[in-house]
Chain A
Amino acid sequence: MAAQSILQKLEILADAAKYDASCASSGTAKRNSMGGPNGRGGIGSTEGMGICHAYAPDGRCISLLKILLTNHCVFDCHYCVNRKSSNVARARFTPQEVVDLTLAFYRRNYIEGLFLSSGIVKSSNHTMEQLVEVARILREEHDFRGYIHLKTIPEADAEMVHQAGLYADRVSINVELPTDSGLTRLAPDKNAAQIEGAMGKVKADLVEAKDARKRFRHAPRFAPAGQSTQMIVGADAATDSDIVGKASRLYDSFGLRRVYYSAFSPIPDASAVLPLKRPPLIREHRLYQSDWLMRFYGYKPADVMQATEPDGNLPLDIDPKLAWALKFRGAFPVDVNRASKEQLLRVPGLGVKAVGKILASRRHRALRLDDVARLTLSITKVRPFICTVDWRPVLLTDRADLRSLLAPKTEQLELFAA
């Protein structure tokens, strides 16, 4: 075959990265390109918030150049399009090519930085070395101060993963599947203990680097945006309860910044072992909503699990917050003029911002339903769960048909029917 052009490689290696859910570029140390060791200034900045430089027609933000170094792989994970036995077109970038692409895109303001992962070639260590090399060239030879996310190979030596963290803003290690049995079955070359071991090591490195910085201002930074992980949803039989439980254990044990869920999507040349029915995207969305509830609304994993249906899955027609409220109707109505912040945060339809506004405004006046309507997106959704000076939802929370009254039309949910 004739040598592939950069364009052809980019098409193959970006296409192979499109199943990855994460594109976040926020939460890292603030840096800018002014001044610096060589006095000339470098290239790139991070200002806390990541910037979405474009949106794809799938509604997802494009903030990083998200590519694979190569989609050749010696592993044979069944859910993965790059697995050894798959018949897809293969390509391979050199580290320098990735560096050049990243800089060319960055200078034109297309991206915030690079999100690099890779299939495993030759050996885990060899692959990890290549990934680290890309980051090293960017940081050391080009004084690149934009965002770098490296997906590390858990089977690689801890020392190399450590190197990755010294150059990258964030490192991630995929847990791949919510249950160990799913992993054994679908990723026979991977090993749950090894994956969690690698996460644990990264956590230890993070803690150590943080401590060191408290004592020595010039101690090297280690992955200032922390570590994240991704699991595939719908490729095995795990329920939403299993998934939420796993995610919260991961948050607790490894101090993860984010757990990403990637709805298993049809991949070309799929393996026969897969379930093969695309899980509705809305399921992934419900999981993100529940993740959100736990991170910003004070819900415990147990609360989310209580919101699931008897089969262990969150309802698809309504969001998990509403599902919880409908199960615990006794907790409502909540008096917006008196209730605590925690109580207000449990009201379906009231977001963190709306609750903040209610708390601020009620110091000035006793809120009426109209006032609340002005502070929220949709009062219809909120009304059955609150009282104000001029409103009390009498028996609404006892109505058996409340769910159907509040559930949005299903057609709006499945945006693209399976």
Chain B
Amino acid sequence: MIAKQNMGLQHVKLSSYYVVHLPEADDFDFWRERARVLVQCEVPPDRIAWVEPGGSGDLFAHGDRNMPVTPADARPVRANRRFVSLARNAILHSDPERFALLYRLLWRLQANPRMMEDKADTDVRRVEDLAKNVRRDSHKMHAFVRFRLVESEDEGLGEHYVAWFEPEHHILRANAGFFMRRFSNMRWSILTPRGSLHWDGSSMSEGPPAQRSDAPGGDPMEDLWRSYYAAIFNPARLKVGAMLKEMPKKYWKNMPEAALIPELIAGAQNREAAMVAKGKSVFSGEFEKRPDTLEAIDKAIHACRKCPIGALDNHAVMGEGPRDAALMIVGEQPGDHEDQAGRPFVGPAGKLLDQHLDRAGIDRRSAYVTNAVKHFKYVPKIVRGGKRRLHQNPQAKEIDTCRWWIEAERAIVQPKLVLAMGASAARGLLGRTVSISKVRGVPIPLEDGSELWVTAHPSYLLRLDGPAREEQARLFDADLAAVKARLGEVAG
């Protein structure tokens, strides 16, 4: 190495220092051209000052501004592809030392052509860091440029999209292609403190550095964009650190949506609390604490106010029957009679049910009889001078809420068959509304291996007369008979 250098130095004055002025801060080709000559003339790194436009050139005030002359027998300069591609990026960095660093690396590469692979080397690492920062800045430019629309005064030119951006490094020119490829049929300009780019739909031109005041101040679309930004953020997942890492504050001032960030963060806790509270009309947090005895369920439903029905003046009605019943019969909800008696199916519908069960040969006392909704839903009404409670159908949401309890009962009784009477009862078990005419007579398998049979609610029969009632009664009996038969099979 020493010998070779001495040999080379014959082309260079021993006391020589060279000053290379670059025409542009991002001119890689110019740097490469000069660097090649200097390496061939074996000018050591510490003899060169690289000066970019606006940079200070007085480091070697007496340095030679003329390049040495390449000797005829100079060896070609070696640089592998990895070096060239890294250098191309690193040279866009705003660090004034980058040219010298790259030259030093190129210099060392001549003695050790595989040096770039040595990732633990300080110079290699430094260049990789520079290139990485440049790539990152480029990437952020692709991402964070925000165009604003200005209607051009010139007839025929139409829409013009203008952006103001403040890149950290000399990346503007290198990124022209990206914006051209993306917005080729638009007229646009990107203004930066380091220069500007203009695309007119068919050709690109460069302009001088600009100021923020040269760019438009707003765009009507920004209100929509800001609402989108605020709405798409899930306050239940606040992760400010992760956001800051990818979108550092220095970029915020030119991004219209960033102005919202402080209030979004400040409001997140409240918004999340509100989301949770809105969802809390149900059993939040009590999933694991479902009662595991019928007695405990009985107690709990009396205190339950999870849906509006519980807040009416009524009593909860617990299911009844053997805790190991093979058949569970589920009605819709207690009525006036049941509410007063505190027992299921004791009113007119219950009487009718008993008759049909008898006819089918099912002993009601051997079944566990309960309701999909535990409280009586009604509207108070003055009828003929007295007060009456008019039955009302529960809403889907109320049935779903109360599903909690019917599932608790099922978990304890573990029936082999469940007979749901009416669409509400079926929903309490399935979580969806089915049409009775479509599903009756066919068992629906449930997750726990049991079977759900769906039939009409006896109170439906009570509301019918004549042939319609006869027809429904016949269907009801047929369903009960099928359940009876199936019960014989599954209960052994």
Residues of A participating in the B interface, judged by any CB pair closer than 8 Å = 6-7, 10-12, 14-15, 17-19, 32-35, 40-45, 47, 51-62, 65-67, 76, 78, 84-85, 87, 101, 104-105, 107-110, 143, 181, 184-186, 188-189, 263, 265-278, 281, 357, 360-361, 363-365, 367, 371, 374-375, 415-416
B246 / chain A contacts, CB cutoff of 8 Å: 52, 55, 59, 61
- Asked if residues B402 and A272 are in contact (CB atoms below 8 Å), the reply is yes
Given A52-B143, A277-B285, A357-B119, A33 contacting B183 (CB threshold 8 A): yes
Residue of A nearest to B180 (CB): A34
Residue of A nearest to B274 (CB): A268
Given A109-B147, A272-B282, A58 contacting B239 (CB threshold 8 A): yes
- Asked if residues A375 and B186 are in contact (CB atoms below 8 Å), the reply is no
List 27 A-B residue pairs with CB atoms under 8 Å apart, sorted by A's residue number. A7-B223, A7-B224, A11-B230, A14-B228, A15-B231, A32-B181, A32-B182, A33-B184, A34-B184, A42-B185, A43-B184, A54-B247, A54-B255, A57-B268, A58-B238, A60-B234, A87-B397, A104-B221, A108-B146, A143-B185, A266-B279, A272-B402, A272-B404, A276-B285, A361-B120, A365-B120, A415-B239
8 residue pairs, one from A and one from B, having the closest CB atoms? A59-B242, A59-B239, A270-B279, A188-B432, A32-B181, A56-B233, A41-B184, A14-B231
Stretch from B257-265, B354-362, B378-386, B478-486 forming part of the interface with A: B257-265
* CA A85 to CA B400, docked complex, whole Å: 9
* CA A277 to CA B287, docked complex, whole Å: 8
B240 on the interface (CB 8 Å rule)?
A: yes
Per a CB cutoff under 8 Å, which of B185, B230, B232, B447 touches A41? B185
* CA A144 to CA B466, docked complex, whole Å: 66
Query: Min CB distance, A25 to chain B, in Å?
Result: 11
- Asked if residues A416 and B163 are in contact (CB atoms below 8 Å), the reply is no
B431 / chain A contacts, CB cutoff of 8 Å: 76, 78, 185-186, 188, 273
- Asked if residues A272 and B403 are in contact (CB atoms below 8 Å), the reply is yes
* CA A120 to CA B102, docked complex, whole Å: 60
Given A14-B232, A107-B161, A268-B279, A415 contacting B238 (CB threshold 8 A): yes
- Asked if residues B238 and A361 are in contact (CB atoms below 8 Å), the reply is no
Residue of A nearest to B116 (CB): A360
**In the complex, how many residues of chain B place their beta carbon closer than 8 angstroms to a beta carbon of chain A?**
85
Residue of A nearest to B124 (CB): A361
B30 on the interface (CB 8 Å rule)?
A: no
- Asked if residues B236 and A265 are in contact (CB atoms below 8 Å), the reply is yes
A109 / chain B contacts, CB cutoff of 8 Å: 145-147, 163, 182-183
Q: Which of B265-294 contact A (CB under 8 A)?
A: 265, 268, 272, 274-276, 278-287
B24 on the interface (CB 8 Å rule)?
A: no
At the interface, is chain B mostly helix, strand, loop or mixed?
A: helix
B306 / chain A contacts, CB cutoff of 8 Å: 272
* CA A66 to CA B472, docked complex, whole Å: 50
* CA A76 to CA B431, docked complex, whole Å: 8
- Asked if residues A45 and B119 are in contact (CB atoms below 8 Å), the reply is no
Per a CB cutoff under 8 Å, which of A45, A52, A55, A186 touches B181? A45
Residues of B participating in the A interface, judged by any CB pair closer than 8 Å = 114, 117-120, 125, 139, 142-149, 161, 163, 178, 180-186, 201, 219, 221, 223-225, 227-243, 246-247, 255, 257-258, 261, 264-265, 268, 272, 274-276, 278-287, 306, 395-397, 400-404, 430-433, 447
Query: Min CB distance, B220 to chain A, in Å?
Result: 9
Other than A57-B268, A270-B278, give 5 A-B pairs with Cβ distance below 8 A: A55-B243, A108-B147, A109-B183, A185-B431, A281-B237
* CA A363 to CA B233, docked complex, whole Å: 47
Query: Min CB distance, B61 to chain A, in Å?
Result: 37
A275 / chain B contacts, CB cutoff of 8 Å: 287
- Asked if residues B247 and A47 are in contact (CB atoms below 8 Å), the reply is no
Residue of B nearest to A44 (CB): B182
Query: Min CB distance, B243 to chain A, in Å?
Result: 4
- Asked if residues A32 and B265 are in contact (CB atoms below 8 Å), the reply is no
Residue of A nearest to B401 (CB): A272
Residue of B nearest to A58 (CB): B237
Query: Min CB distance, A85 to chain B, in Å?
Result: 4
Per a CB cutoff under 8 Å, which of A10, A32, A33, A367 touches B228? A10
* CA A189 to CA B395, docked complex, whole Å: 18
- Asked if residues A375 and B119 are in contact (CB atoms below 8 Å), the reply is yes
* CA A268 to CA B178, docked complex, whole Å: 42
A61 / chain B contacts, CB cutoff of 8 Å: 246
Given A181-B447, A267-B275, A361-B118, A17 contacting B227 (CB threshold 8 A): no
Most B C-beta atoms less than 10 A away, residue of A17, A43, A271: A271
* CA A360 to CA B128, docked complex, whole Å: 15
Given A14-B228, A55-B242, A272 contacting B237 (CB threshold 8 A): no
Given A85-B400, A266-B276, A54 contacting B229 (CB threshold 8 A): yes
Given A43-B186, A62-B232, A78 contacting B400 (CB threshold 8 A): yes
Query: Min CB distance, B368 to chain A, in Å?
Result: 21
* CA A263 to CA B234, docked complex, whole Å: 12
B272 / chain A contacts, CB cutoff of 8 Å: 266, 416
Query: Min CB distance, A286 to chain B, in Å?
Result: 15
* CA A271 to CA B395, docked complex, whole Å: 13
Residue of B nearest to A189 (CB): B432
A375 / chain B contacts, CB cutoff of 8 Å: 119-120
A367 / chain B contacts, CB cutoff of 8 Å: 120
- Asked if residues A85 and B397 are in contact (CB atoms below 8 Å), the reply is yes
- Asked if residues B227 and A7 are in contact (CB atoms below 8 Å), the reply is yes
- Asked if residues A105 and B184 are in contact (CB atoms below 8 Å), the reply is no
Query: Min CB distance, B172 to chain A, in Å?
Result: 15
* CA A24 to CA B145, docked complex, whole Å: 20
B227 / chain A contacts, CB cutoff of 8 Å: 7, 10-11, 14
Query: Min CB distance, B54 to chain A, in Å?
Result: 29
A33 / chain B contacts, CB cutoff of 8 Å: 181-185
Query: Min CB distance, A79 to chain B, in Å?
Result: 11
Query: Min CB distance, B258 to chain A, in Å?
Result: 8
- Asked if residues B236 and A266 are in contact (CB atoms below 8 Å), the reply is yes
- Asked if residues A19 and B224 are in contact (CB atoms below 8 Å), the reply is no
Query: Min CB distance, B442 to chain A, in Å?
Result: 16
Residue of B nearest to A31 (CB): B181
- Asked if residues B279 and A40 are in contact (CB atoms below 8 Å), the reply is no
- Asked if residues A416 and B239 are in contact (CB atoms below 8 Å), the reply is yes
Query: Min CB distance, A78 to chain B, in Å?
Result: 6
Per a CB cutoff under 8 Å, which of A104, A365, A415 touches B118? A365
B278 / chain A contacts, CB cutoff of 8 Å: 268-270
B264 / chain A contacts, CB cutoff of 8 Å: 56-57
